[in-house]
Amino acid sequence: MKKLLSVEHAGRGHWVGNGFPVRTMFSHHSHGARISPFLLLDYAGPAEFPPSDQPRGVEEHPHKGFETVTIVYSGEVEHRDSSGGGGVIGPGDVQWMTAASGLVHEEMHGRDFTQRGGVLEMVQLWVNLPAKDKSAQPHYQGITASQIPEVPLPSAAGTVRVIAGAFGRQTGPAKTYTPLNVWDVRLTAGHRAELRVPEGHNTLLFLLSGQVELAGGEMLRDTGLAVFDRQGDSLTLAALQDAKLLLLSGEPIDEPVVAHGPFVMNTEAEIRQAFADFHAGRMGQLVAKPE
Ligand code: MN
């Protein structure tokens, strides 16, 4: 059994651009090596947006040295980047963008969603890359809900959608640089589940909604984050209400992290170089959007 290290709840929110009202659930700056290989988790919404003709989101900005993973629960997110990647994702879909050597991108609400209005709920996870892969070519994986295997839990306790890594015999579609798991977990009120999580993985459990009792009686309420020890290989959860959870686990990357804004490198010199590259236009640019 993995030992529970802490339970934390969402603090105050902030806006990313004019499209994403987020609460930061963890970051490298506050949690350090305990969350490696993950760097940041922003939870956006659920927030109601009225119909509009004006695009909403966050305009062109750079990233380098890591990956951004966007999971949509409600609404629509449209992305395009200077490596040629792009697409629109809706509920159940995932965008896995590898910034690696550097790119610029924009993240907007989908055009249809903007015009229609509705509830936006999504998370954005930042995943670090090992030093040897920070100079890899940027690329983009658009993953639709139909590509993500859904595994039923025993005794009708719920389901696990395997976005990355493996759960039981099922493997997720996302290609990753280091061993990690990203699972979209749903538990049914009144049921218990035991999840096997690899020994040695840093493990984080984020509760988007519902209520779950952890082993030892500790309670996780929305929007709560449970941080577990690397040792041990299982978690036991009892759903007191229907629960929507995101389980993240991964082998720690044992390297220095120097993060500044949109860049995550290993040294200060590399951060200075990233800013210089961006300002010199070496991270590319977005092509003009067709009207
Ligand atoms: Mn971004």
User: Cα–Cα–Cα angle for 257, 140, 195, nearest 5°?
Assistant: 70
Query: How open is the CA angle 240-157-37, to the nearest 5 degrees?
Result: 85
What pLDDT does 45 receive? Answer: 87
Can you give the pLDDT at residue 11?
79
| Whether the Cβ atoms of residue 69 and residue 38 lie closer than 8 Å to each other | no
Distance 236 CA to ligand 1 centre (A): 34
Identify whether the C-beta of residue 123 lies closer than 8 Å to the C-beta of residue 42: yes
Cα–Cα distance measured from residue 179 to residue 227, given in angstroms and rounded to the nearest whole number: 18
Mean pLDDT (whole number) for 79-85: 93
- Spacing, Cα 92 to ligand 1 middle (Å): 20
Give the pLDDT score at 289.
66
Cβ(21)–Cβ(15) below 8 Å: yes
Note if the pTM is more than 0.85. Answer: yes
End-to-end CA distance of the chain: 55
Give the pLDDT of residue 142: 96
The confidence score (pLDDT) of residue 10 equals 83
For the chain, give the number of residues: 291
What kind and span of H or E run contains 268?
Answer: helix 268-279
pLDDT at 200 over 60: yes
Phi, psi of 188 (to 5 degrees): -95, 135
If you measure from the C-alpha of residue 286 to the centroid of ligand 1, how many angstroms do you get, rounded to a whole number? 13
The answer for residues whose C-beta is within 8 angstroms of residue 133's C-beta and 6 or more apart is: 100, 177
DSSP-assigned letters across all residues of 70-138: EEEEES-EEEEETTS-EEEE-TT-EEEEE-TT-EEEEEEE-HHHHHH-EEEEEEEEEEE--GGGTTSPP
pLDDT tens digits along 98-130: 999 999 999 999 999 999 999 999 999 999 999
Chain segment 16-75, per-residue pLDDT in tens: 999 999 999 999 999 999 999 999 999 998 999 999 999 999 999 999 999 999 999 999
291/60: higher pLDDT: 60
What pLDDT sits at residue 287?
79
Mean pLDDT of 149-163: 98
Give 263 Cα–ligand 1 centroid separation in angstroms.
Answer: 10
CB atoms within 10 A of CB 6: 11
- pLDDT bracket for residue 290 (50, 70, 90): low
Calculate how far, in angstroms, residue 13's C-alpha sits from the geometric centre of ligand 1: 17
Token pair, residue 264, equals 């995550």
What pLDDT is recorded for position 12? Answer: 85
3-state SS assignment for residue 40: strand
Ligand 1 centroid, distance to 152 Cα (angstroms) = 33
Q: How far is the CA of 283 from the centre of ligand 1 (A)?
A: 13
Contact between 20 and 107 (Cβ < 8 Å) = yes
| Ligand 1 midpoint to CA 3 (Å) | 33
Q: What is the DSSP letter of 14?
A: E
Question: Among candidates 114, 63, 60, 72, which has minimal Cα distance to 289?
Answer: 60
Do residues 249 and 282 make contact, with C-beta atoms less than 8 angstroms apart? no
Locate 40 and state its tokens.
């940041």
Nearest-Å Rg of the Cα atoms of the chain is 19
Alpha carbon dihedral 155, 161, 167, 173, in 10-degree steps, equals 160
Query: How far is ligand 1, taken at its centre, from the CA of residue 94, in Å?
Result: 14
Q: Quick check: 140 pLDDT over 60?
A: yes
pLDDT greater than 70 at residue 291:
no
